[in-house]
Structure 1
Amino acid sequence: MVIQYGITGTTAKGIAASVERGVTEGALAPEAALPPVRRLADELGVSPGTVATAYKELRRRGIVVTRGRGGTVVAPVPAVASRRPPRVPEGLRDLAGGHPDPALLPGLVPPSRLSPGVRSHRSAPRLARLEEAVRGWLGPDGVPVEHVTFAHGALDLIGRLLSVELRPGDAVAVEDPGYHHLLDLVPALGLRTVPVAVDDEGMRPDALRTALRAGVRAVVCSPRAQNPYGGCFSAARRDDLAGLLREEPDVLVVEDDHASWVTDTPLRSLAVAGLARWVHVRSVSKFLGTDLRWAAAACDPVTLARHDGLLLLTSGWVSHLLQETVYGLMTDVDTRALMARARAAYVLRRETLAGELARNGIASHGASGMNLWVPVRDESAVVNGLRSYGWWVAAGARFRLSAGPGVRITTAGLEPADAARLASDFAAVLGESEATYGG
């Protein structure tokens, strides 16, 4: 695809900024071809070396990629901003967002004990009582809890660690299909993504072995409720992955357990496997509230020092008002009872839809979590077809690098009574798609 956007600038920095601005504003779409170096140099009245330097900087930051004779194109996953999902058309049932059911979230009441005013918590960034509650939360699952820390959500912690541990151009192994915001974050940090295929038990050992041999410096994975595929580690899979990772003691392993309280599968953590560099992070937005941008993490001492050192230089600490709110919910008996009801509801809704799809001859994946991944031949045909029946699901392109096409259906708010109709409509759409596109 040839671009129509007019690149400007007389310096390498200015040219790079112009291209980045075009990507940010959507004028330069993914896969858009940039002009050859010499042609753009002639158009702008600068030397070819100036344009080549600009393109080199854009490649380093993951905004563009070079494909040999195919030239330089905008990266398939733009690095300057996370891709926002399409707006849900009016009147459609939204099963694309990946969000929990609002009816199964507790009410948020900010604490009143902390008065407003000027204060610094840099010397004591974590509430001691919340720190102990976190140890009581992680410890029973076997996660070592000698060293714990807090962050503004899982991605905040992952981004901080990758930025301090790795250097531009280093490679990070990520699940494929995987969490789309992570797939955007890695290149935004100037790093390279290396896809690792997943199945119903999480990362596949053969794919991880290939990634490790390629020289990845970090691995980010989900032990359960993997998004979007739904995989969860079995004990055997955890042990196989751990065996590979123990042979690479310099590789940082980040384990994201984002749906801990509302997933029905036990945690089989890599944190218990004797790895040299590791962090287990748990966020709460999927079950305590989407506005609670807080996460707890347990990790090795080196990782703790590097994370907290950079946190100290940036935001300094996680708001104590936020910490008090989280602590109140985590220790509230009624909230824990609600979490148990939410867990049972999410299991029932996911399994009901999976069963209805299977009855219509449609295979799906979702061993745990709030989503189902349904492999399809043509994502657009399925998304648009289901739209005509009143459903809105997520096209899989946002979640995958090398994996085959599919759609993600969020089942968290789908009552079992609606599952049969959705599955029937899905089967009808697949039939229409085959008739239109020849299968």
Structure 2
Amino acid sequence: MGAGDLVPGQLLPPMRELAARLGVNPNTVAAAYRILRERGVIETAGRRGSRVRPKPATTGREHIRVEVPEGVRDVSSGNPDTALLPSVAKAFAAAAEQSDREPVLYGDAELEPELARRARAELAADGVPEGPLAVLSGSLDAIERVLAAHLKPGDTVAVEDPGWGSLLDLVPALGLRAAPVGVDDDGPRPDDVRRALEAGARVLIVTGRAQNPTGAAVSATRARALRSVLRAHPQTLLIEDDHGHGIVDVPLHPLAGVTRHWAFVRSVAKAYGPDLRLAVLTGDPVTVDRVRGRQRLGPGWVSRIVQRAVVRLWADGALDTTAVAAAYRERRTLLIDALAGHGIEAHGRTGMNVWVPVPDETGAVARLLHAGWAVAPGARFRIAAPPAVRITVSTLTARDAESLAAAVAAATGPTPARRYG
């Protein structure tokens, strides 16, 4: 494989067949396949066998995208509407002035006190248990550090399927195994979670709201069912991602505190701007202490100027979260209703994306591109889930929704209602 004799996408021989060909024990081949899978070199799809990955896991799924020619409308990016983001100029100017008066030096506290106070109050209001705080450079940075703090290569992580493409690549890049857990509009399916944990998964990662790509949000009923499953597996490391805070209008139903080790991550990227690169992490004392310790040996801390700017944005009420959530809800509803008018199933309870199951993903993406719409291939977000496309509704108007729905209908035809995870 290292010599380049095997090409991306090539099907590998069954393990027993290869063992017989090489004259070695089948367990040796199984171990080799396992190592290659853990390192993101190959991918396995059950009875369909193992194949060489198009690219190593460390390159990310971002390459599974379409090039957007001039004149084609891009609804694939997953980006927020820039018109709904607050201006950060005054906040950074105020933060810079504060840093001139109160410079941060080596050995000073990594956490801005006022940011900690405000973050802790909002977390408590949403029912997240009391715990120490840390500030990381975004949700993925926080999740990576939590995983590294508890796991060793070869451990299994239960992940949502469909789920966040960057996370699906992070897991094998860390030498970990991904156990896909089906998702519906109310979040991860309890039976799937139970099976994954009983099969040995040490971690469960859950998106509370605005799940990417499906828009799922964990309901109160689903949260009770998931807590029941987790109580039977108290050693599970639970990680919750609340990147949708500030852009959704449904309540949070946290699971944190049910297990011995837990982490809850809240990013400001979607609501205040991706370039801020800031997420607040809370969790059990052991987990947060390990994350902080490892952070000190790397970047040290997230810039206190950035932290102070975020505090100023919060203090000034720079974002009307109710209006932002309503805007994204209206745009999702417009597209989902327009698709329903064409007999097309779609999902999107919260957030800025709509997930549309399709019978032929590659064909649908190509035909929509030809019709003037660039959508995200579902392959970026799934392991075993059926084909689909993700549409970002951030900047859609009512006229856009009707036009796009007609294009989707022409590209795919009606699809029967079914599980999408």
**TM-score normalised to the size of structure 1?**
0.84
Corresponding residue of 1:165: 150
In 2, Cα distance between equivalents of 1:37 and 1:120: 59
How far apart, CA to CA, are the structure 1 residues paired with 2:49 and 2:354?
37
Alignment partner of 1:199 is 2:189: no
Q: How far, CA to CA, are the matches of 1:408 and 1:227 in structure 2?
A: 9
Shift, 1:366, TM fit? 0.9
Cα distance in 2 between the residues matched to 1:363 and 1:68:
27
Alignment-derived partner of residue 96 in structure 2: 112
Q: In 1, Cα distance between the equivalents of 2:149 and 2:167?
A: 16
CA apart distance, 1:67: 9.1
User: Paired residue for 2:400, among 392, 414, 418?
Assistant: 418
Of 252, 259, 262, the match for 2:237: 252
- Aligned counterparts of 2:348 and 2:80: Cα–Cα separation in 1: 16
Q: Indicate which of 256, 278, 295 corresponds to 1:294.
A: 278
**Which of residues 131, 136, 139 in structure 1 aligns to 2:124?**
139
Partner of 2:340: 358
Q: Tell me if structure 2 keeps the 8 A contact 1:170–1:192.
A: yes
Question: Could you tell me how far apart the structure 2 residues matched to 1:431 and 1:156 are?
Answer: 40
Secondary structure (helix, strand or coil) at the match of 2:252 reads coil
The superposition leaves residues 146-196 of structure 1 with CA deviations (integer Å, 9 ceiling, x where unpaired) of: 322111001001111111210100000000000000000000000000000
**Shift in alpha-carbon separation, 1:167–1:234, aligned structure 2, 3 A:** same
Deviates more, 1:241-250 or 1:346-355: 241-250
Moved more, 213-222 or 121-130: 121-130
Q: Do 1:394 and 1:408's aligned partners in 2 also have CA atoms closer than 8 Å?
A: yes
List per-residue Cα deviations over 1:188-207 (Å, max 9, x = no partner).
00000000000010000010
Q: Contact 2:248 / 2:325 at 8 angstroms: preserved in 1?
A: yes
Q: In the alignment, what sits opposite 2:314? A: 330
Of 120-129 and 109-118, the range deviating more from structure 2: 109-118
Residue 64 in 1 paired to residue 6 in 2? no
Unaligned runs of 5+ in 2: 23-28, 416-421
The one-character-per-residue Cα deviations of 1:4-31 (angstroms, maximum 9, x if unpaired) are: xx844xxxxxxxxxx7xx9xxxx95244
**Quick one: which of 326, 348, 352 aligns to 1:370?**
352
**1:48 corresponds to:** none
CA deviation profile, 1:345-384 (whole Å, cap 9, x unmatched): 1010001111111111111111111111111100111111
Deviation at 1:341, TM superposition (A): 2.0
Decide whether the 8 Å contact of 2:237 with 2:261 is kept in 1: yes
Deviates more, 1:230-239 or 1:81-90: 81-90
Measure the CA separation in 1 of the matches of 2:291 and 2:312. 26
Contact preservation (8 Å) 1:122, 1:316: no
- Bigger relative contact order (CA 8 A; separation at least 6): 2
Could you tell which deviates more after superposition, 422-431 or 291-300? 422-431
Change (3 A) 1:432 1:220: closer
Secondary structure in 2 matching 1:259: coil
Aligned-pair identity in percent equals: 44
3-state SS in 1 of match to 2:354:
strand
Matched, 1:397 2:376: no
Aligned-pair distance for 1:63?
2.0
Report the CA distance shift for 1:237/1:53 in structure 2 as closer, same or farther (over 3 A): closer
Q: How does 1:235-314 map to 2 (within 5 A)?
A: 235-271=220-256, 274-314=258-298
How far apart are residue 75 of structure 1 and its match? 3.7
Shift of 1:248: 1.3
CA distance in 2, matches of 1:136, 1:277: 22
2:161–2:385 contact (8 Å) kept in structure 1: yes
Tell me, in whole angstroms, the C-alpha distance in 2 between the residues paired with 1:66 and 1:412. Answer: 34
2:56 paired residue number: 78
Contact 1:30 1:78 in 2 (8 A): no
Q: Is the 8 A contact 1:372 1:409 kept in 2?
A: yes
**Compared CA separation, residues 108 and 30, structure 1 to 2 (3 A):** farther
Distance in 1 separating the partners of 2:140 and 2:47: 36
Matched, 1:345 2:327: yes
Deviations 1:92-148 (Å, cap 9, x if unpaired)?
Answer: 111111110011111122232224999644441001111101112211111123322
**Counterpart amino acid of 2:328?**
Y
Is contact 1:160-1:307 (8 Å) kept? Answer: yes
Is contact 2:244–2:351 with CA below 8 Å preserved after alignment?
Answer: yes
Counterpart secondary structure, 1:315: coil
| Alpha-carbon distance in structure 2 between the residues aligned to 1:87 and 1:269 | 38
Q: Does 1:93 align with 2:93?
A: no
Secondary structure of 1:261's match? coil
**3-state SS of 2:270 partner:** coil
* Cα pair 1:121 1:317 within 8 Å, conserved: no
> Take 2:337 and 2:384, find their aligned partners in 1: how far apart are those partners?
28
Q: Distance in 2 between matches of 1:421 and 1:53?
A: 51
Q: Does residue 408 of structure 1 match 2:405?
A: no
Give the structure 1 partner of residue 419 of structure 2.
none
Work out whether residues 135 and 280 of structure 2, in 8 Å CA contact, stay in contact via their aligned partners in 1: yes
Shift in Å at residue 76 of structure 1? 6.5
